[in-house]
Chain A
């Protein structure tokens, strides 16, 4: 039993994985349409945009930061892509500019956080407004259609697998590698645990912080192109508000908002879980009015569980410490 508990607390993503499995089983019992290959595929395609962004957001939240401007970066990046496509017709130029710009906007967030030491929530709230304004200015709030061939990114298949799922898989694997197999990943967690200790041990705190926001921008850029391809064109305000779904996915996945602890696997499953809720409500033909209520309740439950387990852990640690002090004083 203790061993089970141990595995459970060391693999934070297990909780969301089990919840997702339970929800999946429940849905397959109530609707025969759920457990079909095409529905599972459709759930994954739908989750791809938020899941890819959630990988980036996980890095940011692990350092104790947050990026509220992700939706605005998505809006600006897709605006830039559509605008360049319309004016030049050059895919390569549009891709390079869009992805480059997404990274750049992320870097600006990171630089501001590092240089001015304003809390990331406020910094990115400001850049959110700025980036969104830039996008509206760039497009004059007009919708811009993109060429239908671009739909390949959204509808296309490679080796029978839908392209959005493939892109998610690539981002997922790279994210896993970066977080768990490199020194950079170690630094990210170290900064989240204690920025002060990280600085005292001479870790490149500033560089790592800037880089996590660049990763956030890059994943947003990739997600933007998928969404743009699937929606069929740029719509004014596309992506605005998506950051909250992304943050919800990361939190549901067991990553602590205070930083230091969390997993990429959890965040991706969290994104799938949120899509499953929508998918389930749709399959059940639920009233359109209850969607947001259900999602809100689920998120609240996740945060409360997280908080309770954190307090229990803290209590446990305190008890251990007290015991240790007692035993050492006994020796003395």
Chain B
């Protein structure tokens, strides 16, 4: 009898363990490459996945679209339950994403939208147009009273990055309010060294530049270097101050704004982006319907209120 009981218990245990094994959810996380803000979102995704008790397989493509393509294929082979992807390049990874769709694996794009993809089920990321608009609006408020032609320098992100393009669009839309503004746009490819050279050249060509917009606030220290070079380094409120705004929320941007060198920055909500990505994946795994596009606008902080909001700024150390 005890033998029978024992085997029943054993079978029950086995069943429950397979049952719980079946409930184990694995998320595949495909990251384009590692840099500060990306790590911020990735960490938020990992934390939320851990909270939900999910297993997570993370792959990083080092900025190479072909690598990402094969990494996603390998996630499909490993039969993950959902894939979260931040794409290096939409077209190159589409084949792998369609492979995931065929295998019935839901795909959530995060941070970088894949509007033309036939495989993506949902997107969560920044509202880059509104972020650019907010940074532009504050600049407009500072420059409004000036008479004569106003030259403004815009440091662009990468020309093929949707977030860079949208920030620029929002920023330019905001500056349309000023009738007498000329925007000098310089490409930087998100690279601070290029931003440095571009700022230097721009100030050589136009010593009278009144404001600088940085598509990423990690480039603000480079602007600081150039203004120091040409003796134009003045704080907010001082005579001759060059208005500086940016988007991101890194420590560079936080420190520059806190010290009053920059007027204000838009801080992206990386934690919420990461959490939402995992929640979307959960809903899709459970077969629920989700909104296709989920954007999270950033918050704008000025040199006056940034320090009191330190806790909400992902990069602030």
CA of A136 to CA of B222, assembled, Å: 21
Which chain A residue lies CB-closest to B228? A155
Q: How many chain B residues touch A (Cβ–Cβ < 8 Å)?
A: 39
Contact A237 B202 (CB under 8 A): no
Contacting residue for A38 out of B159, B204, B225, CB 8 A = B204
For residue A143, which residues in chain B have a CB less than 8 angstroms away from its CB? 36, 218, 250-252, 315
- Among B159, B191, B202, B251, chain A packs the most CB atoms within 10 A around the CB of B191
Chain A at the B interface: SS class? helix
List chain B residues, Cβ under 8 A from A45.
Answer: 200, 229
B260 at the interface (CB under 8 A from A): no
Which B residues touch A68, using CB under 8 A? none
Smallest CB gap from A133: residue in B: B62
- Does the CB pair A288–B156 fall under 8 Å? yes
Bound-complex Cα distance A227 to B221 (A): 12
One of A42, A136, A145 near B221 (C-beta < 8 A): A145
A231: B residues at CB distance < 8 A: 192-193, 196, 221-222, 225
Contacts of A154 in B (CB 8 A): 225
Interface-centre pick from A49, A232, A279, A291 (highest chain B CB count, 10 A): A232
Closest Cβ of chain B: how far from A152's Cβ, in Å? 11
Asked, given contacts A278-B201, A291-B187, whether A155 binds B193 with beta carbons under 8 Å apart, the answer is no
Given contacts A143-B218, A145-B255, A282-B202, contact A237 B230 (CB under 8 A): no
Known: A42-B201, A155-B229, A231-B221. A236 touches B193 (CB 8 A): no
A38, A42, A233, A288: the one within 8 Å of B186 (CB): A288
- Per-residue B-contact encoding for A230-252, CB less than 8 Å = 1, 0 else: 11110111110010000000000
Partner of B200, one of A46, A141, A151, A236: A46
Q: Which residues in chain B, 110-159, are within 8 Å of chain A measured between CB atoms?
A: 156, 159
SS class, residues of chain B in contact with chain A? helix
Least distance between B192 CB and chain A CB atoms (Å): 4
- CB of B34 closer than 8 Å to a CB of A: yes
Q: Judge if A96 is at the interface, Cβ distance under 8 Å.
A: no
Whether A142 lies near B221 (C-beta < 8 A) is no
**What are 29 contact pairs spanning A and B, CB under 8 A?**
A31-B205, A33-B204, A33-B206, A36-B204, A42-B201, A42-B204, A46-B197, A140-B39, A141-B38, A141-B39, A142-B39, A143-B36, A143-B218, A143-B315, A145-B255, A151-B225, A151-B228, A227-B193, A230-B193, A230-B225, A231-B192, A231-B222, A231-B225, A232-B224, A235-B192, A236-B34, A238-B193, A242-B193, A288-B156
